[in-house]
Chains A and B, each alone.
Chain A
Amino acid sequence: DAGVIQSPRHEVTEMGQEVTLRCKPISGHNSLFWYRQTMMRGLELLIYFNNNVPIDDSGMPEDRFSAKMPNASFSTLKIQPSEPRDSAVYFCASGWTQYFGPGTRLTVL
């Protein structure tokens, strides 16, 4: 198995633009988690899904953030409009013991 796949690996955008991060979980895993990591705030859970259904989105910082999981093999995290304070590394993880992807480094100018 290729592990958890995230794209893009790096994203640089300007304030106000829409950003979409993508994640392909490991086949057979029923749960998927989105995290954000910054030096200031550490690792934060944004949202997680079980069997494609959002279970807990209490970590989503505000309405500018949204996440979807249309099927068991794909999830997106969207930020619209993006702001400089959204700059961070965003991780996707799948499975009960949480296999992490390599992350997407987002920079909002």
Chain B
Amino acid sequence: AQSVTQLGSHVSVSEGALVLLRCNYSSSVPPYLFWYVQYPNQGLQLLLKYTSAATLVKGINGFEAEFKKSETSFHLTKPSAHMSDAAEYFCAVMHGSSNTGKLIFGQGTTLQVKP
């Protein structure tokens, strides 16, 4: 069965600093992996996805993530944090085959950006 673990429920960085949000997955099949962002009082928005093409995936708002099979990781990074990046971030793995569309979400990481 697939699962994801997000390390750290809260991450705090200074504006301009590197953002690193950690996600490790468990999957018995080649995984499809996703990162979503949720701003207050809104639904989740797709940041980026890995679907077995390039291992370095670029997303919106300057975020990117690297798929590392040897480490079973899919960490999210951004070189320089902005105040507007403060939100909750969810990592997800697609359940079973790629046709199901069912996602297994992590518990989320709240990113705080300090001025």
Contacts and interface: CB of A to CB of B under 8 A. Distances in A.
Contacts of A50: 101
A43 interface: yes
- Range, interface on chain A: 20 to 34
Nearest to A94: B101
Contact of B103 (A45, A55, A99): A45
Contacts of A33: 101-102
15 contacts: A4-B43, A42-B105, A42-B107, A43-B44, A43-B105, A43-B108, A55-B100, A93-B43, A95-B101, A98-B103, A99-B46, A100-B43, A100-B44, A103-B41, A103-B43
Contacts, number: 44
Interface of A: 4, 31, 33, 42-43, 45, 48, 50, 55-56, 91, 93, 95-103
Given A45-B103, A100-B43, A102-B43, 5 more contacts: A55-B102, A91-B43, A91-B44, A100-B36, A103-B43
Q: How large is the interface on B (under 10, 10 to 19, 20 to 34, 35 or more residues)?
A: 10 to 19
Contact of A100 (B45, B101, B108): B45
Interface of B: 34, 36, 41-46, 49, 90, 100-103, 105, 107-108
Given A43-B90, A43-B108, A97-B34, A48 B45 contact: no
Contacts of B45: 100
